[in-house]
Amino acid sequence: MLNVREILKTFNLGTINQKIALNKLSLELFPNDFVTVIGSNGAGKSTLLNAIAGNFFVDSGKIAIENADITRLPAHKRADMISRVFQDPLSGTAASMTIEENLIMAYRRGKTRRLRPAIGAKERDIFRAKLEKLGLGLENRLTHRVSLLSGGQRQALTLLMATLQKPKLLLLDEHTAALDPKTAEKVLELTCNVTEQEHLTTLMITHNLDHALSFGNRTIMMHEGRVILDIKGTERNNMTISNLLEMFEKASGAHMNTDRMILA
């Protein structure tokens, strides 16, 4: 589903602030993979997602989705293939618009624009059915402004909007980091439900090492712009956080900076 081959990205080239953010990184995701991504600050995790989403072009290397080369496609031309949920619950929705108005924009993404009623009865029925699965009571609040929702409700709505039209790839950029622990667990539960029901290929950045091992089917660890560990199968099922940290030290030759990492 996703094939990243030796991508290189250097910021501030030729200056004192030059930094290699992605160092000939390679990564392959297969259909229905749910891959968690961990690593110390500055490892290149969000830069990787930005490169895949098309926020900038890589200096060299190749990015392909379903064998289609998207390396030089701008972000808006990747939007019908890739959906993304960010850390900030406020960034994925339009606060001044209603829940149904936000949903209709997501529902018609990539479709031909033509004159018709803004939202039809059939579309409202679809929205109610989708919202009901979230278990947050939002199906009865279609005409409420999104600004009235809590952070967790907005992030759940953003997740639904990102998957309303099934993307080929879902990117989750620390999408629970700004939520309180209880709400974060609820959003993660919803994430698992949605990705399983829709059979989505997913790449999720997290700083919680327990979540990194308990969600999805693969865990990759990044360091200095490279993937240094790719753990799956029985090895992952038997992995502990202590084992993970030991593997990082052996693979990277460095002690892991756990300042922002949540160990349990």
Q: Is the pLDDT of residue 181 over 50?
A: yes
DSSP line for the chain: -EEEEEEEEEESTTSTT-EEEEEEEEEEE-TT-EEEEEE-TTSSHHHHHHHHHTSS--SEEEEEETTEE-TT--HHHHTTTEEEE-SSTTSSS-TTSBHHHHHHHHHTTTSPP-S--SS-HHHHHHHHHHHHHHTSSGGG-TTSBGGGS-HHHHHHHHHHHHHSS--SEEEEESTTTTS-HHHHHHHHHHHHHHHHHHT--EEEE-SBHHHHHHSSSEEEEEETTEEEEEEEHHHHHT--HHHHHHHHHHHHSS----SS-B--
b (16+ CB within 10 A) / e for 19-31: ebbbbebebebee
pLDDT at 110: 61
Q: Is the pLDDT of residue 94 over 50?
A: yes
Q: Which residues contact 254 (CB under 8 A, 6 or more apart)?
A: 223
Q: Domains, the chain, ranges and CATH?
A: 2-238 (3.40.50.300)
- Dihedral, CA of residue 62, residue 67, residue 36 and residue 245, to nearest 10: -50
Q: What is the CA radius of gyration of the chain?
A: 19
pLDDT at 258: 59
Q: Which residue has the higher pLDDT, 262 or 207?
A: 207
Q: Is the pLDDT of residue 111 over 80?
A: no
Q: What is the pLDDT of residues 26-84, one digit of tens each?
A: 999 999 999 999 998 889 999 999 999 999 999 999 999 998 999 999 998 998 899 99
Contact 25, 1 (CB under 8 A): no
Q: Which residue has the higher pLDDT, 27 or 183?
A: 27
pLDDT at 115: 45
Q: What is the pLDDT of residues 115-156, one digit of tens each?
A: 455 788 889 999 999 999 888 889 999 999 999 999 899 999
pTM of the model: 0.90
Q: Is the pLDDT of residue 182 over 90?
A: no
Using a pLDDT cut of 90, give the percent of the chain over it: 64
pLDDT at 26: 96
Using a pLDDT cut of 70, give the percent of the chain over it: 93
55: phi then psi, degrees, rounded to nearest 5? -65, -25
Contact 138, 99 (CB under 8 A): yes
